[in-house]
A and B are shown apart, each in its own frame.
Chain A
Amino acid sequence: GEDVEQSLFLSVREGDSSVINCTYTDSSSTYLYWYKQEPGAGLQLLTYIFSNMDMKQDQRLTVLLNKKDKHLSLRIADTQTGDSAIYFCAESGANFGNEKLTFGTGTRLTIIP
């Protein structure tokens, strides 16, 4: 079945860039997502990328997709204390009736002042 893997922890100094990595196994993945979870809150969609794209930029966020290696990354420029959260990578297919999201374990991002 589908599997999505992430490293569990990342610590970054405030003002530096954070890069959170994700690998997935399902070659039919059509959309890949990044969700953010702050303490006590739900999963907030940050951004997504369609599988025929290599890169997507949205303000401080840059998503890179290497479809050949099934590798997805999220870069957060100028990391701030408010970026402290757990970041989940997720994928879905586009087959009719198969839109469930498969999530990674989440990467806990800690900002060092």
Chain B
Amino acid sequence: EPEVTQTPSHQVTQMGQEVILRCVPISNHLYFYWYRQILGQKVEFLVSFYNNEISEKSEIFDDQFSVERPDGSNFTLKIRSTKLEDSAMYFCASSEAHRGVETQYFGPGTRLLVL
């Protein structure tokens, strides 16, 4: 069964460093998402992406964050200058279409720790 994959599974970085989290969505999916979950808190929406542009972003997704689909398979989240509070589990998701029941399929997540 097709699945969303994410690399790395864990990343430790120093505050102020740039990190790139990688995702390979399901191949025929057109919509891509990033969510994050700070330990003990809710899963929060960060950004959605379609047709090579951001379709929606949350207030968390400030100028330190960017997303890119550099080729036909990868979808990346870049944090330009990490802060301690960026430590979280980051989930990538993809969906075939954009309306309701075309559900989002999630990857296993990347656990980011900023020291």
A interface, CB within 8 angstroms of B: 4, 30-31, 33, 35, 40-45, 48, 50, 88, 90, 92, 94, 96-106
Contact = CB atoms under 8 A, between A and B. Distances in A.
Contacts, number: 65
B42 A33 contact: no
A65 to B, nearest CB: 14
A50 B100 contact: yes
Contacts of A35: 106
Given A92-B100, A99-B98, A103-B42, A42 B56 contact: no
Interface residues of B, number: 28
Contacts of A102: 45
Contact of B99 (A42, A94, A100, A106): A94
Given A100-B33, A101-B35, A101-B104, 7 more contacts: A41-B108, A48-B103, A99-B56, A99-B100, A100-B45, A106-B42, A106-B43
